[in-house]
Amino acid sequence: MEYQPVIGLEVHCQLKTKSKLFCACSTEFGASPNTNICPVCTGQPGVLPVLNKKAIEYTIRTAIALNCRIAQHSIFARKNYFYPDLPKNYQISQYELPLAENGYLEIKTEHGKRTTVNIKRVGIERVHLEEDAGKLLHAIGAQELDYSLVDFNRTGIPLLEIVSAPEINSPEEAYIYLQTLKMILQYLDVSDCDMEKGSLRCDANVSVRKLESEEVRKLGVKTEIKNMNSFKALKEALTYEINRQIEVLESGGKIVQETRLWDADRGITQSMRSKEYAHDYRYFPEPDLVPLVLEKNFVEEIRKKLPELPSARKEHFIQEYQLSEYDAQVLTSEKELADYFENCLNNFPLPTSRLPSVAKQLSNWITTELLGKLNAENKSISESPIKPTDLAELIKLVQESTISGKIAKTVFEEMYKTGKKAEEIVKEKGLVQISDKKEIEKIIEEVLKENKMIVKEYKAGKERALGALVGAVMKKSQGRANPQIVNKILKQKLEGEGK
């Protein structure tokens, strides 16, 4: 019997504010344990929280980008639970009246051998703001004694929770949804989304239901998989859990609503605890914070400053620069990469007619040569030793026939190693392209004398022989001869000799 998975994702994203949500403590990552703390974030008696305005701005930016309805009036609530890394024994969050609700995110999925692209709209139920908890560090001490340490530096960092509707129907769709959401958050510049540092985490609610055509399909009993911090973990955990639930149902068992953890080493989900419900947390309005009221002008000002988002920028690259779908997708996959490309392009004062050809050439250099180098060293575009202006200058030298495309690759290698400018390397190494016809003719005559057999083959009708002669000329000139001029003069000489 066939089953349909039903998945809803709860994504937690640390906002990149300089200070915490309710106090002035630094949000710096990697500081010594328990150094970025104060009486407020550690829950000492008599302290009062003060709301971080920048965190509100970042939340609204995200809500607008996700097509949500922004609430003019929202309330913070206390979410009560006991855990060693929660010093107050409650978390300031939002419950009944969140900052934003009822949005959506569009994702693109591919189906079939011909890769038909479908656009699916996944609902966003709510976007709300809360404070992060601390971090427990588990270790094994001397004489095999288990113990845990707690670091409160993370406690109180602004945490954005984005809750999707249960409208995702496969691990692949969940993967694409999280990937798309991460790109948007990075373009908005509200978070670094570094999953290794815990800046972006994900909980998944998953159930399966029988595919029935006649009856209204009801949702099955769901389980929650907690704290997945990589795309790979999300996809693998969902795949395992879906198969596990189907096996339980097929064998006549029942799914228990519970929270489970993903064990990446063993490739299984494991039961952690029975699933909590809202009443378990005893929510009530936070008494130390007044209701949050947003002025319309405040929201509209944020809306005006919103950057071009990934999907719009990709279409912009396809339409204005006439790039392929693939090239535009690669270049807009990261905001910094898209900025790098356009910064390069801005160094070419071009008429509109020449823009597509230069954009394509530039795209090839970035996606093939530059990203190839950076990916091999596990570096981002922001760590590139070649600046956009310098890459633009290299391409200009090729366009002006100062150097050939082959020499340009040699120059690029040196630029990447040393950080030097293209023109400087060309002068130092004497790499200027030979375009003087008399000098090229002299080299060609030498090559024709040295390769009489290849000349005979060409005259006998073997067109490939011309390529061998061109190669010989390029080798003798150390790659500096202008290939177009070489081809033209070679043909003239070979045809002239044949008469």
Domain holding 443: CATH number? Answer: 1.10.10.410
Q: Please indicate, yes or no, whether residues 81 and 158 belong to a single structural domain of this protein.
A: yes
- Same domain for 181 and 321: no
What pLDDT, on a 0 to 100 scale, did the predictor assign at position 491? Answer: 79
Reported pTM: 0.83
Query: CB-based contacts of 357: which residues, under 8 Å, 6+ apart?
Result: none
Number of alpha helices (DSSP H) and beta strands (DSSP E) in the chain? 16, 16
Q: Are residues 280 and 336 in the same domain?
A: no
6 phi, psi to nearest 5 deg:
-125, 120
How confident is the model at residue 352, as a pLDDT? Answer: 66
CA distances from 163 to 79, 137, 149, 205 (A): 17, 28, 31, 10
Q: In what order do the strands lie in the sheet with 69-70?
A: 69-70, 100-111, 116-131, 158-164, 3-14, 200-210, 223-228, 258-263, 268-274
Q: Which of 370, 401, 429 is the last residue of a domain?
A: 429
Same domain, 79 and 37: yes
Instruction: Using the 3D structure, point to which of 373, 394, 429 is the last residue of a domain.
Output: 429
Claim to verify: residue 333 and residue 271 sit in the same structural domain: no
Judge if 48 and 130 occupy the same domain.
Answer: yes
User: Secondary structure of the chain: what % helix, strand, coil (to 5)?
Assistant: 45, 20, 35
What length is written for the chain?
499
Domains identified in the chain, total number: 3
pLDDT tens-place string over residues 153-197: 999 999 999 999 999 999 999 999 999 999 999 999 999 999 988
By the 10 Å C-beta count (0-12 exposed, 13-18 middle, 19+ buried), 60 is classed as buried
210, 324: one domain: no
CA 176 → CA 89, 135, 226, 247, distances in Å? 36, 28, 19, 26
Do 139 and 62 belong together in one domain? yes
SS3 of residue 11 by DSSP: strand
* Number of Cβ within a 10 Å radius of residue 243: 13
- Residue among 243, 206, 251 at smallest CA distance from 224: 206
d(CA 439, CA 478): 13
Contact 249, 1 (CB under 8 A): no
Residue type, 151: D
Any idea what DSSP says for residue 332? Answer: T
Residue 103 and residue 123 in contact, taking contact as beta carbons nearer than 8 Å: yes
Token pair in block for residue 281: 């947390």
Contacts of 289 (CB under 8 A, 6+ apart): 49, 51, 76, 92
Q: Which domain holds residue 460?
A: 437-498
Supply the pLDDT for residue 435: 66
297 & 323 share domain: no
- Residues of the chain where predicted confidence (pLDDT) is lower than 70: 1, 111-116, 140-145, 213-217, 275-278, 350-352, 433-436, 478, 496-499
Query: Is 363 within 8 Å of 340 (Cβ atoms)?
Result: no
Residues 398 and 487 in one domain: no
Closest to 366 measured CA to CA, from 401, 324, 338, 405: 338
Residue 487, φ and ψ in degrees, nearest 5: -60, -45
445 and 489 in contact (C-beta within 8 Å)? no
Claim to verify: residue 421 and residue 452 sit in the same structural domain: no
Rounded Cα distance, 466 and 470, in Å: 6
* 8-state DSSP, 26: B
How distant is the alpha carbon of residue 25 from its chain centre? 29
What amino acid occupies position 284?
A: F
| Confidence (pLDDT) at 275 | 66
Closest CA to 348 of 412, 400, 310, 415: 400
Shared-domain flag, residues 452 and 473: yes
Domain final residue pick, 397, 429, 461? 429
Tokens of 487: 């081809």
Q: What is the per-residue pLDDT across 14-61, written as a single tens digit (0 to 9) for each?
A: 999 999 999 999 999 999 999 999 999 999 999 999 999 999 999 999
